[in-house]
Structure 1
Amino acid sequence: MNTLLKNNFIFLGLGLFILSSCGGKSPQFQAPSEVFEPITQELSQADSLPDPKVDILFVVDNSGSMKGYQQKLADNIELFANTFFDNARLNYHIGVVPVYDSKYLNDKTVYATSGVRKMNPLGELVPLKGLDSESSETKPLYITRDTANPKEVLKQTVLLGVQWGPEAEESFSPVLAVTDVQRNKSINQGFYQKDAYLAVIFLTDADDVTPGLSGEDFYQQLVDLKQGDRSKVIIAAALPNIDKLSDSCKVDGRGPIQSFPALLSISGGIWANLCSDNFGQQLAQIGTELVQRVATQKLQLKYTPDITTLTVCYTNLDDCKGTEENPYLQVLHRPQDYTFNPETNEILISPYLKLQRIDGANLKISAKPLSLGNYKSKRFKTL
């Protein structure tokens, strides 16, 4: 074979080698996919799923014009109550306080038709009505998870009745008074809790006239009580629609035209129209939003999970393995019990999750960690 032919063979072989190297990566030159064992992140219930605490305060106008509106609230209150009384995880205090009137507080005039004004003390919760046993000298002032027949008790308690007295209605000042440390301890049986959510629900046909206090200032004071955490303050108001007044839809004075609109605006609050035929459903919506705000809980993961291997359970066993019939194991299902947010690497626990009571149980989150290296080299499973 002459030198020229030999060189041609060499160049041909070299060309074929170069062409073959331009194709896909040969498996023998790739590192094998990383294999991970599941990681279990264990969180105690106290740390991960503490029963959400919420103080729910109804501020009820008991001036002379409110009889019909109080009855409408009482008739529909069960629709509100159904959203959270059946939620075993919510740890609630529910109390009722009347409006206040500092302007006419000391008016001792004896009026010909009405007599002397009758005023309620500032910021004092009214005793619960409709309790199974009312023989105790100290009457409970608020509903808890231990209150028997809470729906009926709440219905009867919001029916304060009306009286000749409050005329310049203050709805905001009673709320601030309820949060007063001394009054809370000595009079209101510890209703207000610093570390709880605070939900305030107003019922009135008049605007607030608390001296020197705007809706914005009032809301800011509540937020300050929660160390600046706006999410801990929930505002709702059942008010008549001042744009659609009628014989069955009236207001006191000019109605809620300034302070309440300002409060609802700055707080992102919820308005239920007292004049609406759909008032009950609006009241139920207040309850639904309250539960979603209070009971949705976030759990931060310490690693990025492979979502296909993610398991969440509540148990006092070593892991989540077992059958659904095991009384010591409750497996949480996605998406009804929880969801995973990949942007924040958080597990979001549903506000409607019903946990069994298992002594010594903790929340366990188990998954294989996702390899970002595998992701970039396209060695991953597409869902």
Structure 2
Amino acid sequence: MKPLIALCIYLSAFMLLSACAQESGTMIAQQQLVDEKAELPVYPEVQQPAQEPLPVFPEIPKQAFTWVTEDGGQSQLDFNPRVDILFVTDNSDSMKSAQANLIKNLNRFTNGITNNKMIDYHIGVISTWDKKWENPESKKADPYKIGELRFAKTIAGTETAQRYVTKKDSAGVLATTLKIGVVALKDGGPENEEFFSPLAAALENNGRGSANEGFFREDAQLVVIFLTDADDASSRISPEQMARTLIDFKGGRQDKVSVYGVLVDAKDPDQYKDWALRVHPTYHPECFVGQKNNGKCTGFGPERLEQLIVAANAGSGSPKQIRDQYIMSIVSPSFGTELGRMGDSITVKTLEKQIFLSQIPRVDDAGKLMLRVRYGTADVLAQGKGQLIPNKLSGGWNYNPSSNSVKLSGDIKYEYKDGARFAVDLVPVPLAN
């Protein structure tokens, strides 16, 4: 028992000593913390400076824009759409029914052109040429030289002193003028029809005192229409050269030239074609062995004329699109409808207009172009009024920044006024200092 009692006394004494040591350590640590705090410096209270009031800035006034009107005295703002339409007509013997079909449906072609009060038109006709007539001893049925405009005719069919038809002439005068008739080969008619050579001659023969004087006007749209069941047989002019000649004639402006064709197609039956386009041993010996068809030829079309039409109307679409738009069939069952569509196309092209601006228009904060176009007489425009032309591609105007110009489409519905012109109003971009 004594050893056990001694052990208990020893443990109790040990625990008591440990507790006293822990308390003593805590007290010493607390005393050290108090001593450290006592040694910290005392700083004076910092005084915060008074806040200055924020400056009051004046309100920025909304920017005011000044609208200006392009000089109404500029001729480019006048609106006198002009078109010179030249028919290059085949008068060989095989064209009798085609010419009759044209005259029968002529009103459908001319309705849009002649009934539009705005359009000032010249319409004339030249005939095909055969180089054999360059021989003085050759037989020729008419007195017209290469490229000479035919004389206009009265409704009764008698020739006048005028070489072309204008707005003052009646529809009957136009019909009789375009009906030039045909000449059989035996009577001196054409065999190898040329179209490029008389067209080129017509362009050259337009000076003072010449047969075609006054027909071609510098500011007019030039439209050429071929009417034939043959192809061009000109040996000295390629289709590309002819296209270039037409464009150069209009000062290099391709947009001022349009070339159309009322033609046969390679797939049309031979009975509708000129002999030179038929699968015939005289004109296409490569298709025959002796007099027997070798089966290698399926038909011939007016390739050179088609190439010219594509080249002259370049920029109006792909070659296929150009053919579809600018060529119609001479034997079409819907000849009148297609002829009317051609006339409408010419009307739209003639009424297109481009106005070049002297200042660049500003764009507002909403991204809207600060530009407008009005149409009306000079006194109405001076009052800030007139027909407001909408800003849209079809039936209105469009701005071209690269040329700083306004392009007016040809299908705008105008409220026609005699002597009307355009006014272009804009807020100009300020010039840099």
Alignment correspondent of 2:96: 67
| 1:211 equivalenced with 2:242 (yes/no) | no
Shift of 1:62: 0.6
* Residue 339 (structure 1) aligned to one of 389, 397, 422: 397
Alignment correspondent of 2:120: 91
Alignment correspondent of 2:20: none
Q: 186-195 or 231-240: which moved more? A: 186-195
| 1:156 equivalenced with 2:185 (yes/no) | no
* Residue 283 (structure 1) aligned to one of 327, 335, 339: 339
Shift of 1:266: 1.4
Structure index of larger Rg = 2
CA offsets 1:18-55 (integer angstroms, 9 cap, x no match): xxxxxxxxx96874431223322232362322423322
Determine if contact 2:152/2:173 at 8 Å carries over to the other structure: yes
Q: 1:355-366 residue pairs with structure 2 within 5 A?
A: 355-358=416-419, 363-366=422-425
Q: Cα–Cα, structure 1 residues 31 and 123, in superposed 2: closer, same or farther, change >3 Å?
A: same
Alignment correspondent of 2:275: 252
Q: Which amino acid aligns with 2:204?
A: D
Counterpart Cα distance in 2 of 1:5 and 1:300: 77
Determine if contact 2:205/2:213 at 8 Å carries over to the other structure: no
Q: Cα–Cα, structure 1 residues 155 and 228, in superposed 2: closer, same or farther, change >3 Å?
A: same
Q: 1:368-383 residue pairs with structure 2 within 5 A?
A: 368=427
SS in 2 for 1:241: coil
| 1:199 equivalenced with 2:216 (yes/no) | no
Determine if contact 1:238/1:271 at 8 Å carries over to the other structure: yes
* Residue 408 (structure 2) aligned to one of 342, 349, 358: 349
Shift of 1:205: 0.9
Counterpart Cα distance in 1 of 2:331 and 2:63: 64
Shift of 1:133: 10
Q: 1:24-63 residue pairs with structure 2 within 5 A?
A: 31-44=60-73, 46-63=75-92
Shift of 1:138: 5.0
Q: Cα–Cα, structure 1 residues 226 and 3, in superposed 2: closer, same or farther, change >3 Å?
A: farther
SS in 1 for 2:168: coil
Determine if contact 1:241/1:273 at 8 Å carries over to the other structure: yes
Shift of 1:184: 6.7
| 1:263 equivalenced with 2:299 (yes/no) | no
Q: Which amino acid aligns with 2:376?
A: Y
Q: Which amino acid aligns with 1:265?
A: V
Counterpart Cα distance in 2 of 1:47 and 1:132: 41
Shift of 1:79: 1.8
Q: Which amino acid aligns with 1:304?
A: P
SS in 2 for 1:237: strand
CA offsets 1:327-353 (integer angstroms, 9 cap, x no match): xx6423325863242645543334354
Determine if contact 1:49/1:297 at 8 Å carries over to the other structure: no
Query: Taking structure 1 as the reference length, what is the TM-score of the superposition?
Result: 0.74
* Residue 361 (structure 2) aligned to one of 304, 307, 312: 304
Determine if contact 2:86/2:124 at 8 Å carries over to the other structure: yes
Counterpart Cα distance in 2 of 1:319 and 1:183: 38
Q: Which amino acid aligns with 1:260?
A: L
Counterpart Cα distance in 1 of 2:151 and 2:133: 24
Counterpart Cα distance in 2 of 1:132 and 1:118: 22
Shift of 1:189: 4.1
CA offsets 1:65-102 (integer angstroms, 9 cap, x no match): 00011112112222221121123332221101111111
Unaligned runs of 5+ in 2: 1-41, 278-299, 314-321
What RMSD, in angstroms, separates the aligned Cα atoms of the two structures?
Answer: 3.8
CA offsets 1:154-213 (integer angstroms, 9 cap, x no match): 222222111121111111111112122467733234323344332110111111112222
SS in 2 for 1:42: coil
Unaligned runs of 5+ in 1: 14-26, 110-115, 323-328, 372-383
Q: 182-191 or 152-161: which moved more? A: 182-191
Q: 95-104 or 310-319: which moved more? A: 310-319
Counterpart Cα distance in 1 of 2:43 and 2:81: 89
Q: Which amino acid aligns with 1:118?
A: A
Length, aligned pairs only: 341
Determine if contact 2:96/2:181 at 8 Å carries over to the other structure: yes
Q: 79-88 or 137-146: which moved more? A: 137-146
* Residue 244 (structure 2) aligned to one of 191, 202, 220: 220
Counterpart Cα distance in 2 of 1:97 and 1:274: 18
Query: Taking structure 2 as the reference length, what is the TM-score of the superposition?
Result: 0.67
Q: Cα–Cα, structure 1 residues 132 and 75, in superposed 2: closer, same or farther, change >3 Å?
A: closer
Counterpart Cα distance in 1 of 2:120 and 2:327: 25
SS in 1 for 2:273: coil
Counterpart Cα distance in 2 of 1:319 and 1:161: 50
Counterpart Cα distance in 2 of 1:100 and 1:234: 22
Counterpart Cα distance in 2 of 1:288 and 1:4: 97
Q: Which amino acid aligns with 2:397?
A: T
Q: Cα–Cα, structure 1 residues 139 and 354, in superposed 2: closer, same or farther, change >3 Å?
A: farther
Q: Cα–Cα, structure 1 residues 168 and 153, in superposed 2: closer, same or farther, change >3 Å?
A: same
Q: Which amino acid aligns with 1:141?
A: R
Counterpart Cα distance in 2 of 1:96 and 1:311: 38
Counterpart Cα distance in 2 of 1:242 and 1:3: 110
Counterpart Cα distance in 2 of 1:152 and 1:244: 32
SS in 2 for 1:43: coil
* Residue 142 (structure 1) aligned to one of 157, 164, 167: 164
Counterpart Cα distance in 2 of 1:102 and 1:309: 56
Alignment correspondent of 2:141: 118
